[in-house]
Structure 1
């Protein structure tokens, strides 16, 4: 674990270095043909984190962001990896960071049932699945809709951001149960967010089953921590260009 943390620190440094040295004329990245879910238009991908990191961002920072997610093991850290992978770095990144500071402050003020964290040039939101869903269910509890409504309202105020929604489970049961459950839960949050006015073109969903624990699965507390939905919010290319041009 210490080795993984050390590697993460080194790669984060490289992300900042490469992003800062990159010119504003970055090579364009062609997005893959991603399938839509349940008619909502939200994109779902089963790509590895290394591939996804390269696709979510642009240039060296994006590639290294994917590597970060992979090195953390079993896809662990992919929400943060997506944010790191999309980093612009340098002055542009600092401008984006200030914009994200404002968005995060609004989310923290409004969302009482979720943990909101500023990470790099983006925002990570963690929902406890026990708050969102009943056991073995992917149907959102009515009470959970309030926080999703607040998240959607802030996302509409910051339209030039992309949103990655990830579902995670503990290791109870089998992969045959946990994997599709995590996918359906991520999609349920996406569907609710879209229904509340956020464009489906901004949203990508991914389920990881029990492969990315953040807690000890041998304890009740650890299992609870592992049952979660994570949301990564990061700048899209339009916001990056506006920041580069001094229009943000």
Structure 2
């Protein structure tokens, strides 16, 4: 399921993080066995790496071949594309619906341009080091699924992330399994699988400092990125 697209994303992320490390002043950044910055790296440099990772995520997840595959699959499934001002208006309505249906659930809704991101924190979604959804979280995901079915002209990228504790292999596997659990649940509620791309990023894209308990908790998450299907995709026909 994670195919070559996952490898391409991971390679690109690693390269981008390496470049961002150089940009912090040209000094070598030492890390411990878990990939955490050592005390020799100052706070400014560490935060620069975190910011770079967030920026890389936004670029990769909305512009690589995985997105093109989803577009073609959606066109094949008869889902119409959006164009012009209709895109922003469509996403405005979807964002409003998502905020209403996820209020007080622990799910965070954010917006960057025409793309909407849902952040599903580890604490409310999974038990520690587990990939089975908590039954108490079903109702929250039901609200998400209902909105995605109503606004079906968006691609759905489900991406798992972990903190830096543990080996690369373990974190990669856990991030993939958690993303797949969320995608499988959404699919069972009627969200078309053709719309979905499922990825595991392991510990590569922290959004907080892995040197603190609070930071690691934020990094353990599943994100759902909602990207509009735009007119201009081969074979796509407009529909609002």
Do these two structures clear the TM 0.5 threshold for a shared fold by scoring above it? yes
Query: 2:108 aligned to 104, 115, 119, which one?
Result: 115
**Pick from 182, 192, 195: which aligns with 1:189?**
182
Match of residue 48 from structure 1: 8
RMSD: 3.4
Runs of 4+ in 1 over 2 A off after TM superposition: 47-52, 67-86, 91-95, 237-241
What's the counterpart of residue 91 of structure 2?
100
Pairwise CA distance, 1:81: 2.2
Query: The residue matched to 2:117 in structure 1 has which SS?
Result: strand
Q: 2:130 aligns with which of 134, 137, 140?
A: 137
Secondary structure of the residue aligned to 1:165 is: strand
Pairing 1:128–2:121 present? yes
- The 8 Å contact of residues 163 and 233 in structure 1, kept in 2 or not, is answered as yes
CA contact under 8 A between 1:100 and 1:121: conserved in structure 2? yes
Task: Note the C-alpha offset of 1:240.
Answer: 7.3
Q: Call closer, same or farther: CA 1:99–1:240 in 2, change over 3 Å.
A: farther
Label 1:84 to 1:178 Cα distance change in 2 as closer, same or farther (>3 A).
closer
Confirm whether residue 236 of structure 1 aligns to residue 229 of structure 2.
yes
Distance in 2 (alpha carbons) for counterparts of 1:172 and 1:133: 17
In the TM superposition, what whole-angstrom CA distance separates every residue of 1:214-238 from its partner, at most 9, and x where no partner exists? 1001111111110111110011246
Instruction: Classify 1:140/1:192 alpha carbon distance in 2 versus 1 (closer, same or farther; 3 Å).
Output: same
- Is the Cα–Cα contact under 8 Å of residues 83 and 234 in structure 1 kept in the other structure? no
Name the TM-score, length of structure 2 as normaliser.
0.68
Which runs of structure 2 are paired with 1:145-160 in the superposition (5 Å)? 145-160=138-153
Per the TM alignment, residue 48 of structure 1 is displaced from its structure 2 partner at its CA by 2.4
Q: 1:132 to 1:187 in 2, by over 3 A?
A: same
In the alignment, does 2:59 pair up with 1:81?
A: yes
Distance 2:156 2:129 in 1: 25
Count of residue pairs brought into register by the alignment: 190
Larger radius of gyration: 2
Structure 1 residues 194 and 106 mapped into 2: Cα distance closer, same or farther (>3 Å)?
same
Q: Do the aligned partners of residues 170 and 68 (structure 1) sit closer, same or farther apart at CA in structure 2, a change above 3 Å counting?
A: closer
Q: What is the alpha-carbon distance in structure 1 between the residues aligned to residue 136 and residue 19 of structure 2?
A: 37
